[in-house]
Structure 1
Amino acid sequence: MNPVYDFIQRNRVLAKIEKAHCSKARNLNLDDFDLETFPEILLNCHDLCSLRLSHNRIMDLPSDMFHLKNLQHVSLAYNNLDKFPESLKHLSQIVTLNISHNPIKDLTKVIGCLTTLEILWCNSCCLISLPEEIGNLTNLETFGARRNKITKLPNTMSNLKSLRWLTLEDNNLHSVPQDFCKVPLVHINFNRNNFNTIPPQLAKIKSLKYLHLQSNEFFSLPEPTIFSMPHTKINLMHNPLQLTDNKIFTNVIITNTEHEILDLLGHDSDSSSDNWDTSMVSSDLNYSATESESEDEEVLTDIPRLSKYLLNF
């Protein structure tokens, strides 16, 4: 890295943190600053409610994260975390957490300590399983673990009494836990897994409106299960279906006509489900900006960031 650029970045980070500390800011965005370590000075910002540290090179968090006693929203996506940060267990008040795009192999027992979590994103990590302790997250409403290698869900998933939105797209799942029907899900995304039939537990979820099963291993339509789910829109596109008759199910999509796709995406539903389906691929959490920087200040602070490329000639 260019030493001039390093100097500029370090000073920009320190300036932003000092400003947040002096103004008792509730939000701080340190995305894309090429940070290799967590700035210890950040621990003095006791008023922070949300903290963005995505697109850096951070490998671990300090053990004394408990100083950030008001922190509720954390984004650590696109870093170099190779294990779930154990110090997060001290943030018992955390509500939203994004650790996507880190080489994290497992969530460990630490995740069970974050009982106030409502939103958890761990897309594109290196997960092969989920710990039993995830069942402790009884306030969890949204959970996403796309593009991992998860083969089985723990039985404790049935304890997630608040979970409404679940995306486990692009994993190696072929079944769900026996008591999965107890989870009040509205929207499930199981695209690109190994399902060859619709698990009967899903048919028993009365709140389920959208079930995505694209690119799985369906060779035939599970007609009895489909008949028992008249209020659920089911997407079975891109499966190796071998249809022998012309039966039409109004709640099933197996082709890709524009009208059917628009209907399946739920344009007759509330806007939250539409937004969830189309906006969460990036895994980025949206924090409302409350910093008082003017437009001129934003332009000036972006110039040094561009020097990352200009100074390498």
Structure 2
Amino acid sequence: MAPSYLMRFILTTSFILTQLESLELRENLLKHLPESISKLTKLKRLDLGDNEIEELPPYLGYLPGLQELWLDHNQLQKLPPEIGLLTNLTYLDVSENRLEEIPNEISGLINLTDLDLAQNLLEYLPDGLAKLSRLTILKLDQNRLQRLNTNIGDCDSMQELILTENFLSELPASIGRMTKLSNLNVDRNALESLPIEIGNCANLGVLSLRDNKLKKLPPELGNCGVLHVLDVSGNQLQYLPYSLVNLQLKAVWLSENQAQPLLTFQPDTDEATGEQVLTCFLLPQQEYQPITPDLFKYLSENVNNVKHATKETLKFYDEHSKFSLK
């Protein structure tokens, strides 16, 4: 149905659709919503995904029964404060938009359990987000976040937290209050350390920290008794904490080229601190440098040597060092 006819249909029939509970308007090239949509007071599910909506009207907040709202893949730059009036909302998807901020009034979504904010332009989160005590899934991947609010741990019902591809250099200590957290993904950020409080995440099963700047992991990670998947490939780790021997790990990823999910570790001693640690043939990790034209030329000219190089002897150094084969 063409957009103009669709809008006319909503305008002319909304008065007889007052009992409507589900409305699917996905992929209709919609750019705005008619005010008459506010008459659909029985509406529980509204799908506006894959349209061209640039702005949401305030009267969208006047749908008291709304439980599920899809706004993914539009052109939204902001959400109206009235979004906080949707107190029965349990699911909200505003991924793949152009959002630069979220109104603090989002704290009014007291029944929200699933929030998808992925693929936007968010640089920070409102403090009100921490008041969503029933939130179990929060997706924030592919934004511009440089930090998380210190009170994020107040979302103590959180089970899945996705922070992939942001600019985070640290996680707040309050994350340790997320005792129900089972899946934490912070791949491709700029993490330099983990808070020791992460050891309080008793239900953490999957921890993915791929492609960060971690030089060590806290020994307290060994307190995460159900942790079974640990991905720390693409970091700068010298060793792993010995406390990991207490865990029933099924997969430990230290390299993208790793052939097996499980490795054989040996106990060792950190010369600097004297503490017992774990090491293996993939530790310490080497910083990865993408192949540049000059490096490709070097490899091509020395192809015979490269053919005989093993994974243990092929090393990449940072941009200030020269490539070498040992």
Given the two structures, how large is their TM-score scaled by the length of structure 1?
A: 0.72
The partner residue of 1:87 within 82, 89, 100 is 82
The partner residue of 1:234 within 218, 230, 234 is 230
Who is 2:280 aligned against?
Answer: none
1:55 positional shift: 1.5
Q: In structure 2, what is the Cα distance between the partners aligned to 1:15 and 1:259?
A: 58
Given the two structures, how large is their TM-score scaled by the length of structure 2?
A: 0.69
Mapped contact 2:143–2:165 kept (Cα < 8 A): yes
Query: Residues 276-305 of structure 1, C-alpha deviation per residue, up to 9 Å, x if partnerless?
Result: xxxxxxxxxxxxxxxxxxxxxxxxxxxxxx
Who is 1:194 aligned against?
Answer: 190
Structure with the largest fraction of strand: 2
Aligned pairs for 1:157-168 (under 5 A) are 157-168=152-163
Aligned pairs for 1:80-119 (under 5 A) are 80-119=75-114
Name the SS of the counterpart of 1:180 in structure 2.
Answer: helix
Aligned pairs for 1:1-313 (under 5 A) are 8-15=2-9, 18=13, 22=17, 24-184=19-179, 185-219=181-215, 221-222=216-217, 224-229=219-224, 231-232=226-227, 233-241=229-237, 251=249, 252-256=252-256, 257=258, 260=261
1:29 positional shift: 1.2
Name the SS of the counterpart of 2:3 in structure 1.
Answer: helix
Structure 1 residues 255 and 15, CA, compared in 2 at 3 Å: closer, same or farther? same
Query: Residues 9-28 of structure 1, C-alpha deviation per residue, up to 9 Å, x if partnerless?
Result: 32245447848954833211
Mapped contact 2:140–2:162 kept (Cα < 8 A): yes
Query: Residues 39-95 of structure 1, C-alpha deviation per residue, up to 9 Å, x if partnerless?
Result: 323222222111011111212222223442211110111222211222212212111
Answer with 68-77 or 58-67: which moved more: 58-67
Mapped contact 1:198–1:225 kept (Cα < 8 A): no
1:107 positional shift: 1.1
Who is 2:282 aligned against?
Answer: none
Structure 1 residues 9 and 209, CA, compared in 2 at 3 Å: closer, same or farther? same
Q: In structure 2, what is the Cα distance between the partners aligned to 1:116 and 1:196?
A: 35
Query: What fraction of aligned residue pairs are identical, expressed as a percent?
Result: 22
Q: In structure 2, what is the Cα distance between the partners aligned to 1:149 and 1:32?
A: 27
Higher relative contact order (CA 8 A, sep 6+): 1
1:181 positional shift: 0.8
Structure 1 residues 72 and 218, CA, compared in 2 at 3 Å: closer, same or farther? same
Mapped contact 1:65–1:90 kept (Cα < 8 A): no
Q: In structure 1, what is the Cα distance between the partners aligned to 2:16 and 2:120?
A: 32
Q: In structure 2, what is the Cα distance between the partners aligned to 1:104 and 1:12?
A: 26
Name the SS of the counterpart of 1:211 in structure 2.
Answer: strand
Query: Residues 123-174 of structure 1, C-alpha deviation per residue, up to 9 Å, x if partnerless?
Result: 1111111111111111111111111111111122121121111101111112
Who is 1:310 aligned against?
Answer: none
Q: In structure 2, what is the Cα distance between the partners aligned to 1:193 and 1:118?
A: 25
Which stretches in structure 1 are left out of the alignment for 5+ residues? 1-6, 262-313
Mapped contact 1:164–1:186 kept (Cα < 8 A): yes
Q: In structure 1, what is the Cα distance between the partners aligned to 2:154 and 2:174?
A: 9
Mapped contact 2:198–2:220 kept (Cα < 8 A): no
Name the SS of the counterpart of 2:151 in structure 1.
Answer: helix
Mapped contact 2:173–2:196 kept (Cα < 8 A): no
Q: In structure 2, what is the Cα distance between the partners aligned to 1:230 and 1:22?
A: 52
Q: In structure 2, what is the Cα distance between the partners aligned to 1:172 and 1:201?
A: 21
Q: In structure 2, what is the Cα distance between the partners aligned to 1:107 and 1:13?
A: 28
Superposition RMSD on alpha carbons, in Å? 2.8
Which stretches in structure 2 are left out of the alignment for 5+ residues? 263-326
Structure 1 residues 181 and 242, CA, compared in 2 at 3 Å: closer, same or farther? closer
Q: In structure 2, what is the Cα distance between the partners aligned to 1:105 and 1:66?
A: 20
The AA in structure 2 aligned to 1:254 is L
Structure with the largest fraction of helix: 1
Name the SS of the counterpart of 1:192 in structure 2.
Answer: coil
The AA in structure 2 aligned to 1:236 is V
Name the SS of the counterpart of 2:2 in structure 1.
Answer: helix
Q: In structure 2, what is the Cα distance between the partners aligned to 1:99 and 1:192?
A: 22
Name the SS of the counterpart of 1:124 in structure 2.
Answer: coil
Q: How many residues align?
A: 252
Who is 1:309 aligned against?
Answer: none
